[in-house]
């Protein structure tokens, strides 16, 4: 039985980088190969036995609720045609987890979205997954994050190395070595540092294992960069809190396959990479792509 039982997936953002596609359709519902991005997240949580999922939603996000609900009309239609294979495909998202929803009301920032989960999560550690950040199922990271928390307590982040000139686009961590080359202690965090001021080339990616202490900190976190209540600012404060009191932040340095689907170029890249590896489509897609590019 896992020491972490709950995952929070904030999906209430406005998705402005993906307009016009994200105007009425949540960006987390845009398909990556053949299923919505957010379904990959729920599958990842379920793969480590975390099946209590809370989605923080907002207006325009009903499609997400519908996607994880049963569709009797669709089933009846497919059953009439004897199409069992498609009934199974449509049902995949229904049985992965117990999915709960809470509304954010106004997109005041990721930190605020996480705070909206307080009532559901209560006083236990929980995972936060960002719906536009996909981690390849062949390179799982959650179990390692849970093991780090079991050893050190506090919160655990997931970091990735990027070229120095890309750091300004992300949250960035200052770190010092901990147990092994891929586990570090986080000593500082800064959201989108100006070029030249980055403390490292390690960026924070969309997997967090948080101590419930974060709620207390978020309640007093003022709007930061971009006028939003930033999760990074609350995490920065956790660094200096006594581990006995829920503080302390460690991180795993992840070097597996990760796909960003939150902006147009990365989304296209994610689709191509995952389509090439897809059991059903990979072979013919590869052939077509080769011949298309050689024309
Ligand atoms: P992003 O910054 O990537 O999402 O937040 P966004 O604000 O929707 O995107 P852009 O920058 O305008 O294109 C990361 C995750 O946090 C959620 C988003 O839905 C996304 O999955 N989020 C963000 C919230 O739930 N609430 C917020 O107030 C902000």
Looking at residue 209, what is its pLDDT? 98
Provide the sign of the torsion angle of the four alpha carbons 190, 195, 201, 203, taken in this order.
positive
Return the best residue to mutate from 9, 10, 13, 207 for the ligand 1 pocket (most ligand atoms within 8 A of CB).
13
CA of residue 13 to ligand 1 center, whole Å: 4
Arithmetic mean of pLDDT over the chain = 94
CA-proximal residue: ligand 1, atom 23 (nearest):
13
pTM score, two decimals? 0.94
Atom of ligand 1 nearest to the CA of 112: 28
Domain parsing of the chain, residue ranges: 6-294
CA-to-CA distance for 284 and 33, rounded, in angstroms?
Answer: 14
CATH homologous superfamily for 6-294?
Spore Coat Polysaccharide Biosynthesis Protein SpsA; Chain A (3.90.550.10)
Lining residues, ligand 1, CB within 6 Å = 10-18, 28, 56, 104, 107-110, 112-113, 130-132, 262
pLDDT digits (tens, 9 = 90+) for 41-67: 999 999 999 999 999 998 877 899 999
3-class SS of residue 229: coil
- The region that residue 31 occupies, defined by phi over 0 for left and psi between -120 and 50 for alpha, beta otherwise, is beta
pLDDT digits (tens, 9 = 90+) for 71-130: 899 999 999 999 999 999 999 999 999 999 999 999 999 999 999 999 999 999 999 999
Residue 1 has pLDDT above 70, yes or no: no
Burial of 119 (0-12, 13-18, 19+ CB in 10 A): exposed
CA of residue 142 to ligand 1 center, whole Å: 21
Atom of ligand 1 nearest to the CA of 11: 19
3-class SS of residue 44: helix
pLDDT digits (tens, 9 = 90+) for 165-211: 999 989 999 999 997 889 999 999 998 899 999 999 999 999 999 99
Looking at residue 181, what is its pLDDT? 86
């Amino acid at each position: 039985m896992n020491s972490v039982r709950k995952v929070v997936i904030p999906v209430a953002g406005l998705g402005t980088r993906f307009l016009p596609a994200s105007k009425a359709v949540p960006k987390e519902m845009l398909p990556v190969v053949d299923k919505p991005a957010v379904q990959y997240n729920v599958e990842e949580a379920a793969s480590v036995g975390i099946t209590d999922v809370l989605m923080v939603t907002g207006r325009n996000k009903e499609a997400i609720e519908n996607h994880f609900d049963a569709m009797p009309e669709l089933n009846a239609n497919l059953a009439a045609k004897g199409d069992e294979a498609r009934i199974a495909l449509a049902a995949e998202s229904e049985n992965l987890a117990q999915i709960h929803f809470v509304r954010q009301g106004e997109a005041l920032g990721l930190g605020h979205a996480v705070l909206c989960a307080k009532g559901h999560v209560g006083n236990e550690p929980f995972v936060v997954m960002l719906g536009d950040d996909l981690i390849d199922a062949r390179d799982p990271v959650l179990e390692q994050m849970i093991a780090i928390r079991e050893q050190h307590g506090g919160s655990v982040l997931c970091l990735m190395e990027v070229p120095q000139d890309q750091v300004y686009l992300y949250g960035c961590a200052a770190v010092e070595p901990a147990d092994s080359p891929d586990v570090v202690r986080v000593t500082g965090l800064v959201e989108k540092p100006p070029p030249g001021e980055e403390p490292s080339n390690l960026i924070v990616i969309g997997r967090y294992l948080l101590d419930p202490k974060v709620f207390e900190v978020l309640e007093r976190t003022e709007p930061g960069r971009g006028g939003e209540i930033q999760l990074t600012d609350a995490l920065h404060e956790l660094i200096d809190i006594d581990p006995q009191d829920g503080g302390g932040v460690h991180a795993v340095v992840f070097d597996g396959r990760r796909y960003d689907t939150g902006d147009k170029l990365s989304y296209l890249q994610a689709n191509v990479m995952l389509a090439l590896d897809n059991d059903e489509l990979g072979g013919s897609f590869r052939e077509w792509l080769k011949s298309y590019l050689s024309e």
